[in-house]
Each structure stands twice: as C-alpha cells, then as structure tokens.
Amino acid sequence: MTADLRFPPGFRWGVSTSAYQIEGAVAEDGRGTSTWDTFCAEPGKILNGDSGAIACDHYHRYAEDVALMRELGVDTYRFSFAWPRIQPSGSGPGNAAGLDFYDRLIDTLLGAGIQPAPTLYHWDTPQPLEDAGGWLNRDITERFAEYAALLGARFGDRVPLWITINEPMVLTLMGYSLGAHAPGKQLLFDALPVAHHQLLAHGRAVQALRAAGALEIGIASNHAPTWPASESPEDVEAASLYDNLINWMFADPIILGEYPSGIGDGMPGPVADDLAIISTPLDFFGINHYAPVSVGVATGAGDTAATDGVQLPPGLPFEPRTLPGYPTTDFGWPIVPDAFGETLRIFRDRYGEKLPPIYITENGCAINDGVSDQRRIDYLSSYLRSLKSAIDDGIDVRGYFQWSLLDNFEWAAGYSQRFGLVHVDFETLERTPKESYYWLQALIAQNRR
C-alpha cells in the first residue's frame, strides 16, 4: 500500500503539537495566565465549557509521549513553548521552573534520538501583555524579541530547528477580527495591525535567535488555494482579495519584503523599515496545510461556508462558499489531496528562487472514529502522495510533520475533534495508538530502509 511512497534521503518525519493544547498544568511551576485561560473561563466561548487546564497532561506525562514518538519512528518533534510558563508577565527574566520543564523535555527527546523543533509562539499570549494592548500594541514586538533571545540563550545548544510563530493569520482572523478565539475581539479590518505586529515580531525573533547561534529558523504559516466560486469577474476579484488577505499578506512580506498591492497602506508604520526586518532571510518556510476554500462576491444567498464553525459577518466584499463534491473530515473540512500539491506549486511559481526550502509543519485531519481510524489512513496516504508528486516536480520540501501526535484541546471546539495518531481518553488520560499510528510507523520505517 505504501511501496510507492518513497521520499528523498534525509527527509524529516515528525509530529506537531502545541503547549496549550496538550500540556495542562496551567497553575503549576509559576506559569502565568494566558489569553486562552481567560477566554476559556468566559461562558459560552468553548464547546461544552472545555478548557486546556488539564488537556493531555503532557506536562507530567511527557516521558510517556516521547516514548510514543520514539516507537513511531519520528526523528523530529515540533512542540511549542508556553510563553506564560517562560515569562509569566510577558517580560523580564525567565521563570526557572518553566525553563526547567523544557530542559527536561528537550533532554528526553535528544536521549530518544529525536530532534526538538520548538515554536516560540502558538497563540498563548501572557495575559498581562494582552491587557497592555496585546498584538495591537507595537510594544509586543519588543517583548517577543526579548523572549526569543532568552530561549535562544537557554536552549540554542540543543535545538537545531526553530519556528518563530504559528499561523499568524489565524490569530489575526479568529482572535482579533471575528472573536472566535482568544482574545475574543471583533475588530474586522481594524485587526490588520495584529498581522503586521506578528510579522514584525517574527522578523525580530529571527534576528535574536540568529544572534544566539540558532542554526535553522523559519515560521509555520497556514496556506491553501483560494478557488473563485465561478469565472465571473466579480467572483474572481473577490477571491483575489480574500487570497491576498489570507495567504499572501502573511508570506509576501517575509519572502519578498513587501505586502500585496494596497495592503501595506493599512498597516501601522514605519512600514518600509519594518519590512526590512520582517524579510530577514530564513532557512526554511513552514507551511501548514489543510483544505482549499471557494470564495465569491458576497451575496447573502445562504450558501456561505463557515470558517471553523464561524460565519463571516455581512458587509464584507467576499464570502467563502460551500465546496460540494468532496468528502469531509469530521470538522467539516473538505478532503482535497490535490490541493496540497497545488499549494506547493503556487509557492514555487510565485516566489521562484526567493523561496526557501519548505517544511510541512502541519497536515492532518479530524477523524473521530476511535482507534480504528481507516479514514485517517486514507487521508494520510492520499495527501502524502500529493506531497510526493510536488517533490518529484522539483519542489524542495525537507520534511513532513503530522498534526497531531495526540488527540488534544481543539480551541473553540474543545475536545470534540480528534486529530491525533494516538487516542487520548480525557477522563483517564490513557494513551492508545490508533491504526493510523502503526500505518505511519510502517511508512517511516520503509523510508529508512
């Protein structure tokens, strides 16, 4: 079944997680409050009133989880540092107990032959920084640079691969524009400074990590094709605007040092000076890929598609449409394997020689079938074939990190959606590898022979 899925020598195989989604222990070792702690405490924000207070209890069970990774055969683990665990107030010296936890995790990974690939920020802003304006306040870019320097100094001798920020588009759209994620603001287009400040923070973090001797540095940005709902000029124009806001606003500044036409005018300045920092050269560009979106001009006709269960408000110049004819995950996301390879070819054609090497820093699906998850195996098989076709076309993809090792806290959807290769019983916290875990284990082993 997998004999044709041969990837280049040295190709990295990994799994991805994030701190708030798996760690738990939110009140231990001096960890400060995050925006997600605050958001989860607000009634009605999270399905079933769930929170990440315990999650998978990875904080106490990390050794068991590393053993699962070792058995799986991955060579790299992408996790995230919890900023509030490192700097409870978002600034100042590091919290010794929090730093010690990540020392233990990194040393355990290295002892198992697994390279750590930490993400500095996966949406869990220290609440004191949010109280001071959060990502709307330019000062947070200073704080983030200091945070990056602290982490680089502490862990740079053992970490070969660094990721600055996870999916800046999602924090901008879901957290500040639509209010469906922490911190729950509904600013619509007034959220654009959040995008700019995350990009600037990314650039400053690259510089800080580089100064600390970091070897490979990149970002994890989510991207997928935007398909016009029809060939009409109105739909094509609406899809182009959406594409610029969702995809290229978060890639062009990093790779080209410029915003898509017209978008830079809405950003807080000094934009030209900031772009010089944002475009600090990277060693790789991480792409998180899930599903394409069909977009047309806003009509209010009732065929609009929700974004992770959230409908865009009326009055916008575009609207996502339903995408019929494809199976869906249990989260309702269309399963379109060819869109994976299409995404990579779009990047190659758009950026040419300026495109750094690529890592697939996330790809996976919500399949809620328990341990017998053949649908996830089918998904992985088809998406990896699409990835391999892009590599065979000459696109420089260096590795694939599956989302996710564990079933976990899925943000506003609580524990209703299961992305893991390993089933987690959220009552007992027992881990049970799924059939997809053993399928991927066999594929990785095959690629090492």
Q: Is 32 helix (H, G, I), strand (E, B) or coil?
A: coil
What is the three-class DSSP state of 180? coil
Out of 23, 130, 167, 319, which one is annotated catalytic? Answer: 167
DSSP label at 34? B
CA dist., res. 272 & res. 340, Å (int): 33
The alpha helices in 190-283, defined as continuous H runs, are 192-211, 233-246, 252-255, 271-278
| Catalytic annotation present for 167 | yes
For residue 410, say whether it is annotated as part of any ligand binding site.
yes
101 closest CA partner among 85, 112, 88: 85
Set 130, 319, 342, 362: catalytic member: 362
Q: Which amino acid is at 162?
A: W
Is 411 assigned to a binding site? Answer: yes
What phi, psi does 255 have (nearest 5°)? -90, -40
- Return the DSSP state at 95: -
Is 333 annotated as ligand-binding?
Answer: no
User: DSSP for 370-431?
Assistant: TT--HHHHHHHHHHHHHHHHHHHTT--EEEEEEE-SB----GGGTTS----SEEE-TTT--E
Quote the longest CA-to-CA distance of the chain: 59
Active-site residue flag, 146? no
Cα 183 to Cα 143: distance, rounded to the nearest angstrom = 18
Asked whether residue 42 is marked as a ligand-binding residue, the answer is no
Question: Binding-site residues, please?
Answer: 21, 122, 166, 290, 403, 410-411
Question: Binding-site residues for substrate, please?
Answer: 21, 122, 166, 290, 403, 410-411
- Known catalytic residues are 167, 362
